[in-house]
Structure 1
Amino acid sequence: MFAQLLTPPYIPFTFSFLIMIGIGVIEVVGLGLGHLDLDADASADAGDSVLGWLGLGGELPILIWLTSLLGCFTVSGIAVQQSMTALFGAPLHPGLAAGAALLIGTVLNTFAANGLARVMPGFESTVVSTNDLLRRRGTVLEGTARRGSPARAKVLDHHGQAHFVMLEPHEDEDSIAAGETVLLVRREGTLFFALPERAAFLNPI
């Protein structure tokens, strides 16, 4: 059976299995990639419902969901090739088998992921949305932030985790030097805009 998995018809599923094992190793050694920020600024209910159907709408960590998907894809692909061999005497072309396995595996993974989410009620995610950094204080690390010339800053979220962002002053005439504390008030894409804490109208958060 192992030798069969190294033949061309089974190569896509062998690769998916190896990737699944690799993700498991990454989690075991604690590289922390399970805390990927999935914020895509999606505001449409349709998008939320699709993510929920796929099993991504709850608190299931992204790498557990991905591992589950890879497992379902691998099992589905092997089952498809075994079935085709039993029925017609030969497996499908790898591309056709991978397409069929992706469809079947995605459907299976909706049940698997939602089932995993239900048996993990104690999981508390420390993933934060980019927008969660607004109204947080940060410190400019290097350079001087001016309008059109952003500087790098460090911001702590409510979990105490550090995030590194690029920011410019909210007001055109302001400049913020390295070491100064600021309040993040808005963002455009990945760029944040901040008020220097020396501004008299800043209120504590």
Structure 2
Amino acid sequence: MFAQLLTPAYLPFVLSFLIMLGIGLIEAIGLGLGHLDLDWDSAVDDGGSVLAWLGLGGELPILIWLTSLLGCFTLSGLAVQQVASAVFDAPLHPGLAVVAALLVGTTLNTFVANGLARIMPGFETTVISTDDLLRRRGTILEGTARRGSPARAKVIDQHGQAHFIMLEPHDDAVVITAGETALLVRREEKLFYAVPDRPTLLEPI
């Protein structure tokens, strides 16, 4: 069976599975690319739009939806090729199999994504404005934040969800290093400015 998966007829679905694993690994180690677009606002009509039907109505983070779609596509593709092999004694041409798997996988993913949205209450009504992150504290994840040289930071919103932003110090002379926390005080487009959480040194009188 393993050797069969390495043949050209199964290659698109093996690649899909590997991409799915890669996305899962990214989420597991906390890179959080599913939250990069803080201004994501579902403007679809949940009653009947195509995006809502696909399960992409703003109720799931984009990467969870994409992982679900890749999984459904992979399973559908394997099933299609197995059925074709049983009926025709040979798998379908990869192009035909991909088309069939897309049709079946997309339909299957509609039910899976909508089901995930129902069983994950943390994702039901937690869309926030970017400005809601102001007056919250962010932690520098990597790099050093200087004026003109932002660093990547993690902020937890009022719903307990993580957002990943680019952050610079509010004051020109301040440097905020990896691991430090800082209070977000203002925003310019996608860039946040923050004051570091450091003990205030009392000047001698």
Does the 8 Å CA contact 1:12/1:98 hold for their aligned counterparts? yes
> Shift of the alpha carbon at 1:12?
0.2
Partner of 1:36: 36
Matches of 1:34 and 1:91 in 2, distance apart?
A: 35
> Shift of the alpha carbon at 1:162?
6.8
Partner of 1:111: 111
> Shift of the alpha carbon at 1:163?
3.8
Deviation sequence 1:83-120 (CA, Å, 0-9, x none): 11111121111111111111110110000000111111
Structure 1's consecutive aligned runs of 4 or more residues displaced over 6 angstroms after TM superposition are 124-127, 181-184
Provide TM-score, normalisation by structure 2: 0.62
Matches of 1:90 and 1:162 in 2, distance apart?
A: 48
Give runs of aligned pairs for residues 131-170 of structure 1, distance below 5 A.
132-133=130-131, 142=147, 159=157, 163-164=165-166
Does the 8 Å CA contact 1:35/1:127 hold for their aligned counterparts? no
> Shift of the alpha carbon at 1:59?
2.4
Does the 8 Å CA contact 1:58/1:117 hold for their aligned counterparts? no
Partner of 2:61: 61
Give the total of aligned pairs: 170
**Aligned residue identity for 1:27:** E
- Percent identity (aligned): 64
> Do structure 1's residue 7 and structure 2's residue 2 form an aligned pair?
no
**Aligned residue identity for 2:73:** F
> Shift of the alpha carbon at 1:159?
2.9
**Aligned residue identity for 2:75:** V
**Aligned residue identity for 1:119:** I
Gaps of 5+ in 1: 144-150, 166-176, 192-205
Matches of 2:108 and 2:36 in 1, distance apart?
A: 24
Provide TM-score, normalisation by structure 1: 0.62
Give runs of aligned pairs for residues 187-202 of structure 1, distance below 5 A.
none
Partner of 2:179: none
> Do structure 1's residue 99 and structure 2's residue 105 form an aligned pair?
no
